[in-house]
Amino acid sequence: MALWHLLSLDAPTVATLWTWFIARASRVTLNTIPLLAMATAVWTLYAADRLLDAQTSGVDALEDRHHFHQQHRPGFMAGIGLASILLATLLPRIPEQAIHLYLILGGLVFGYFILIHATRSAHRLPKEIAVGVCFAAATFIPTVAREPGLRLPLLAPALLLAAVCSLNCLFIYAWEHPHPTGPQPHLITAIALRCLLPLTLAVTILSAALAAFDRHAPWTLYAAVSLAAIALLLLHFRRRALQPLELRAAADLALLTPLLLVPFL
């Protein structure tokens, strides 16, 4: 599990699983091309981000994942190059509507990267919130691009997935910064950190309620979000029993709850 995290395989695994799960639950057929493109793009993005963090941040601010990427920098750079070539061959085979949506999302992500790594102004943005929203949006794009009529019915589960992805980032931040020093987080992030448990309970309850009463979106999407929120809560209460690296990897493992609901699709 630790190596899965250190190799930056956690995020692409979660993103690809949710992309497939959203489509399958919505009765939309996706071939392997968008799934492979999702895994490749997310891995490239996360590996590049960790390499840049390792290069621009102070030693005291680095976590195990950053040290690992720095130690194996040539290997990761080669992997990013190969992944970029693979992604370039896959993009022409992705539906045009999906490309348009990804271009919009990619522009926002690129601007975010520039702001953080070129100006070192991460504290000016609610980073954890932004990551959750972008991550969730990317996983829903292949489905709503193929079936535009699903955009409104899937809005609620998309927002809740964004919420639980943001909670994932917020819990990790809270665990890794029990006594924060240096630049303070964005005001929105700081407020969310103070209300972390109530927010997680709210996402859990709301998702469970919509799973029971929303007849427009698949109940399995809401159930997977609710289970993920519960898993994060359980991890939070057991955080002192795990090593930091194990806890960080387990936080991403908590987002693999769609696997539990595959038999119900």
Tell me the residue range of the domain where 161 lies: 2-264
**What does the pLDDT look like over 191-233, one tens digit per residue?**
888 999 999 999 999 999 999 999 999 999 999 999 999 999 9
Q: How many residues appear in the chain?
A: 265
Q: Which residue is associated with the tokens 């589960």?
A: 157
CA atoms within 13 A on the CB side of 137: 15
- Report the percentage of the chain scoring pLDDT > 70: 90
Long-range contacts (CB closer than 8 Å, 24 or more residues apart) made by 58-67: 61/182, 63/176, 63/244, 63/248, 64/6, 64/244, 64/245, 64/248, 65/5, 65/6, 65/8, 65/248
Question: CA 38 → CA 4, 45, 92, distances in Å?
Answer: 17, 11, 14
- In one-letter notation, the amino acid at residue 47 is A
Which two three-digit tokens encode residue 222?
């809401």
Number of folded domains that form the chain: 1
Round to whole Å and give the CA distance between 85 and 10.
21
- Look at the block and give the residue holding tokens 């695994």: 13
Q: What is the pLDDT of residue 181?
A: 62
Instruction: Please list the ranges in the chain whose pLDDT falls under 70.
Output: 56-62, 112-125, 180-183
